[in-house]
Amino acid sequence: MTANPRITFIGAGSTVFMKNIVGDVLQRPALSGATIALMDINPQRLEESAIVVRKIASTLDAKAKVETYTDQKKALQGADFVVVAFQIGGYDPCTITDFEVPKRYGLRQTIADTLGVGGIMRGLRTVPHLWKICDDILAVCPNAIMLQYVNPMAINTWAITAKYPTIRQVGLCHSVQGTAMELAHDLDIPYEEIRYRAAGINHMAFYLKFEHRQKDGSYRDLYPDLVRGYREGRAPKPGWNPRCPNKVRYEMLTRLGYFVTESSEHFAEYTPYFIKEGREDLIEKFGIPLDEYPKRCIEQIARWKSQADEYRSADRIEVSQSKEYASEIINSVWTGEPSVIYGNVRNNGCITSLPADCAAEVPCLVDASGIQPTYIGELPPQLTALMRTNINVQELTVKALLTQNREHIYHAAMMDPHTAAELDLDQIWHLVDDLLAAHGEWLPEWARGEAKQRVA
């Protein structure tokens, strides 16, 4: 082990996200001399990211070394940690396709990056590129830890662990800690006084405990306060996005007894209850933000253009600590100082009521030995049942990728809760045909080809 870690960013052109992670890393004394290797296929975005990293390092007076690459294997050479953040096909054309083609069938979506037909297509586009990274890691840095921030997180994690079981990898999301902060805000309680334990699958983990530390050191269950706040109209409070009022999750809390860790706009399309043809009353009542992800993409692209100019002309780039887990993991592995994070890993019996090979999101101890998932046991049966409806789609998408069997793409769409609630079987088959044709070369070759009509 060298004195300073080598941290490679694959998809470093995701500049704002990369800036947050690098800012977190370089604020930690043990990591401030790290080598930051930036890799992206877009030379302009790569150059912009390098400018940002160098200015952050200068502002923090960190001794970091910055390198840029367009060759993935060279960027990975000797890496200790690999941070992956990219979107295959981007907003234009692939996200547009994932929304506009289903809309022709009357199938409306909110985010479409995790589940549903949008999530299935995104998985088909993304996993082959993640597998290529795994190939390169095994060739040039087999002991590196991959910190994977790419959606669809559960499909990606499952596919990596199935094909490359020796890769040290964890799927990372900020929904667990982010939602806990939102709920603390709704309750007017400092986040630092909250204790929680969550488990499940990515974007559908639930807080099994959500408690407030009392002055005498005991803990008080906060679930009654959350339910009361919702029923009395005091919660949810307005959040960062006025289009997303967060009512879906509170409604599900009253039905399930537990609060889910990913946003209402996501959760609305993981279930069959909220987005329904001819039920505009539901859309209005729960504030369902249809087409939310394309709107965010357009806003982000516009915002980045002005930010890139600001970063180029700025002498200093100030950063504050983000809520991402990456720097905490890197610090714990590098120094041995333990931490606990929420990570997506192969279940392996951590949650006994879910399949052993699925991707589970559970608390993980991190220290010099790496990332060690903790045992949860059995989940409440209603939570297990709901997760299984999502796991079915994930499993069939991963099976399609592993076996290169196109029929499983149709099976995955057929099992999706929202799709199945809106469309009949012939519509689902034709929709998948249209999506595969529209995505064309963005998909692996085996997934393209002739339309798969129903067997007579």
Catalytic residues: 174
Tokens of 335: 């120094």
Q: What is the CA radius of gyration of the chain?
A: 22
- Angle at which helix 116-140 crosses helix 425-439, to 10 degrees, equals 40
**Per-residue b or e along 18-41, where b marks 16 or more CB atoms closer than 10 Å to that residue's CB:** bbbbbbbbbbbebbbbbbbbbbbe
**Hey, is 18 helix, strand or coil?**
helix
**Hey, is 10 helix, strand or coil?**
strand
User: How far is 413 from 422, CA to CA, in rounded Å?
Assistant: 12
Contact indicator for 294, 91 with CB cutoff of 8 Å: yes
User: How far is 127 from 123, CA to CA, in rounded Å?
Assistant: 6
Tokens of 243: 């289009």
User: How far is 141 from 393, CA to CA, in rounded Å?
Assistant: 32
User: How far is 84 from 97, CA to CA, in rounded Å?
Assistant: 24
The residue whose two tokens read 């502002």 is 59
DSSP state of 268: T
User: How far is 300 from 308, CA to CA, in rounded Å?
Assistant: 12
